[in-house]
Chains A and B, each alone.
Chain A
C-alpha cells in the first residue's frame, strides 16, 4: 500500500525524536502500579471480609436451604416399582431433572433472543 509521505515532514518527524531519560519516568510508572496493586489487595481483603460477614449471617439459612435441597432434589416425580427402572430414569424422573431441564431451556431461550446474528 502506498503512503505518499512528504520528505520534508518525514525529516522533521525524525529530527524531533528526543532521547528522553527514562529512569524517573519508569519509577513514576512503577510507583503508580504499586499503588494500584495495593489498592487491589485492599479491595480483595474488603470483599473477603464482606463475604465472610455475609456467610456468618446467612450460614443458618444456607445450611437449612442445602439440607432442604438435598432432600427435595432426588425426590421421584412418578413412583416406579422396578429398581432398575428407577435408576435408569432417575436423571429425568426427579425434581433435580426438572430443574436441570428448566435451566437448560432458559439458557437456550436466552441464547436465541440475545445471540448476535
Chain B
C-alpha cells in the first residue's frame, strides 16, 4: 500500500517495484486471455502503462490489485474487439498426450482457450485463473450474471472435450522449473 501511495505521487521507483511484484500474475493472466506469449507480454505492458498514466486517479490504494485487473480486462477486450478472436478456433488439434511441465500445459490450455469465443474465454479465465465469483465477473465484464454462468458452463464443456487427454492423468502441481 505504501508503494501504491508513492507511485500515485509519481514515484518512478515505487512503480517499478509494483511492476516487478505484479508482472508474473499479470503476464500469466494475459497469456490465458490471448494464448500468445509475445502478444500477452505486449498487452501486459500496455496494462502497466495505462496504470502509470491513471494511478493518480486511484482513490483507494488497497484496491490496487482489483483496479489493475480491471485495466487488464479492458485492455484485453479492446484488443479482442480489434482482432478476430475466433481465427485460431479451427486450427486447434485435440491434445492426445498430456504434458507434465507448466509450459506445455500452458500451451495446451491456451490452444484450447483459443477455441472459445472472446466472452467465453474471458469468463473462464476470470473464473478459473482469477478464482472470481460469477457476480464479480459480471461486474468486471459488464455482462448479466446469467450470461456469465452460461458462458462458463459452455466454455467448461468445450475445454473438457478438448483437454480430455488429461482426464486420465490430471496434472499434479509441481514447482516451476523456470
Contacts A15-B102, A15-B171 hold; do A29 and B19 have CB atoms under 8 A apart?
yes
Chain B contacts for A113, CB-based, 8 A: none
Flag B1-33 by CB within 8 Å of A: 1 or 0 each: 000000000001001100110011001100110
Contacts A9-B159, A11-B171, A33-B12 hold; do A3 and B106 have CB atoms under 8 A apart?
no
Q: Give residues 10-36 of A contacting B (CB, 8 Å).
A: 10-23, 25-26, 28-30, 32-34, 36
Q: Is there a chain A Cβ closer than 8 Å to B49's Cβ? A: yes
Q: Of the candidates A17, A29, A36, which one forms a contact with B53 in the assembled complex, judged by CB atoms under 8 Å apart?
A: A36
Let me know if B163 and A9 touch, CB within 8 A. yes
Let me know if A9 and B12 touch, CB within 8 A. no
The dominant DSSP class at the A interface is: helix
Flag A48-80 by CB within 8 Å of B: 1 or 0 each: 000000000000000000000000000000000
Q: Of the candidates A1, A2, A10, A18, which one forms a contact with B28 in the assembled complex, judged by CB atoms under 8 Å apart?
A: A18
- Cα(A92)–Cα(B166), bound, Å: 83
Known: A3-B133, A15-B171, A19-B24. 13 other contacts (CB 8 A): A3-B134, A8-B166, A12-B108, A16-B32, A17-B102, A18-B28, A18-B102, A20-B27, A22-B19, A26-B20, A29-B49, A32-B49, A33-B52
Name B's A-contacting residues (CB within 8 A). 12, 15-16, 19-20, 23-24, 27-28, 31-32, 41, 44-45, 48-49, 52-53, 102-103, 105-106, 108-110, 127-129, 131, 133-135, 152-153, 156, 159-160, 163, 166-167, 170-174, 176, 178
